Each structure stands twice: as C-alpha cells, then as structure tokens.
Amino acid sequence: MVKGGSSLEQARIQIRLTGKQFFVLTGIAGAKAVVGLEDPFRGTLAEEMPAEVARIEQELEEAGYIRLVDGEPELVPQLLEYIEICSRALLTIHLAVDDKQRSRSSECFFYYSAGAVVKAELKYIDHMHMYELEEIGTPAEAWMKIMSSLNLQERPKRCPEQLKLPKGKLWQWLNGEQEASGAAQSLRKEGSSEQAVTRLAEAVKAPESYSAFTAYYRLQHDWRVEGIELLRGREANWVVRPDDRHDQIREASVMEIVRELGDVISRIK
C-alpha cells in the first residue's frame, strides 16, 4: 500500500510491506543485512526458495513496487530511495516504547542517511507482522520525533545514588517474573539506601512507561551496539544502562535523559 504523492521529492509516502516483501526488496537493492529485518525465509527448504522468491516478486510487481527490466527486478523510483536508505544506513536506532499512561506501545527502526531518515514501524495486521515505512525528514527532525515518541515528563530527582541489579532482573521484576522482595534484597546487598529502593519499587509497581533505545553503527562486517532503557514512574524517571553483568540504574531529569540518549550515539561512532 502506497499513500501520498508520486515521488519522494514531491511528498512523503507511506509504504506497508510484509517481512518477506521487505527482505526481497533489500536483496534487490544489494543489502547484505538490515538491522531489525531477520530472514523471514528461515526454515524454507533450498529447493523451495526460487518459487517462494518469485511469488513475492510477483506480489511486489502487482503492487507497483518493482518492475522487470530485461527479466531482472528493479525498484520503482518512488521506492528506491527508501530501500537504499534502509539497506545502506550507517546508523540505525531501534526504539520500543510501552506507554501505559497513553495505553499504547510501539516498536520502530530509524534508518539514517546524511540527508534523510526512514522510519520502519512494526505492526501486527491481519495476523501478520508488517513494516510501515515512511520518510520522516532530516536527522534533526527525526531526533525530535524520537523524543516525542518517548513522551518524556519531568519528575523530581531525589536520590542521586546509582543502583545496581544483576542484568535482566529489573525486566523480570517489571514483568512479575521476579518477586519484589528478592529484587529489593539484591539492591540492599549492593548498598542501596532504603529511600532509593522504595522509590524504584514504586516505579516498578506502577510504571507509566518503559522504553528501550538501542543504536547500531555499521562497521565493515558487523555492528557496534549501545543502548539504554528508560522507566518512568509517578514519582521519578529512571535511566537503566546495561553492562556485561549488571543493570546500572539511577534517577534522572529530562535534561539528563536527553544527554544520555545523545551519549549513546556518541559512544558508538
């Protein structure tokens, strides 16, 4: 499905693709790997692959996304820039937001080029995972939209100390897989004050939102990856920075959160 004008220069268009369609399009564009796009053909027998790829290419041709030139598939101009940005992005940001206050969750990948950013939002439509692609402006404009998606809200910062939990335990605590008493005990063993433990426990018990921000920077054959997580409760904002063994957790103001997000980008370049 394409909505909008006839070219990217004239209007920003929105494109909805299945995982297989997105994968085949990036293959036509020569991509070796795209962050956020796993191989949807995994498990397909080798002898079945040519027919399956041909079926997807026929879908794409019927949708007006590709055309055959001398028997070879070629992306139409309206789509070419989108797919090339996704396929060649040096920087990709993955943002997952569970905003309980606004009763909605979202998961997006932002693919950066020097002059434009393409957002791919993952949606579940008609029992299928879909990618909704849209060009959202310059890198500066995209950054503002990422900040808006996070819905940052100022909270008073009362505990400057840094807390520490074994890696993954905070997530288990948030999802009810970890008893609150056990997590609190782990924090106290690390020397955390009772005030800090209580404030974090209140945020975990009734979170307003939980977000994961991860940046991928393309190297020659791999990616450098950095990320942080954000927990907002009624009384405090918390920044969670995972390391090899622990989650480092601390209260933060909105300004400090924005600085932390920028630092994630700086660290991977």
User: Residue 127: what pLDDT?
Assistant: 81
Residue 111 has pLDDT above 90, yes or no: yes
Of 43 and 240, the structure prediction assigns the larger pLDDT to 240
Does pTM surpass 0.75? Answer: yes
DSSP assignment of the chain equals: -EES-SSTTT---EEEEEHHHHHHHHHHTT-S-BTTB--TTTT--GGGHHHHHHHHHHHHHHTTSEEEETTEEEE-HHHHHHHHHHHH-SEEEEEEEEETTTTEEEEEEEEE-SS-EEEEEEEEETTEEEEEEEE--SHHHHHHHHHHHHT---------PEEEEETTHHHHHHTTSS-HHHHHHHHHHTT--HHHHHHHHHHHHS-SEEEEEEEEEE-SSSEEEEEEEEEE-SS-EEEEEE-SSEEEEEE--HHHHHHHHHHHHHHH-
pLDDT category at 12 given cuts 50, 70, 90 is low
pLDDT digits (tens, 9 = 90+) for 61-90: 999 999 988 888 999 987 899 999 999 999
pLDDT category at 269 given cuts 50, 70, 90 is confident
Residue 8 has pLDDT above 50, yes or no: no
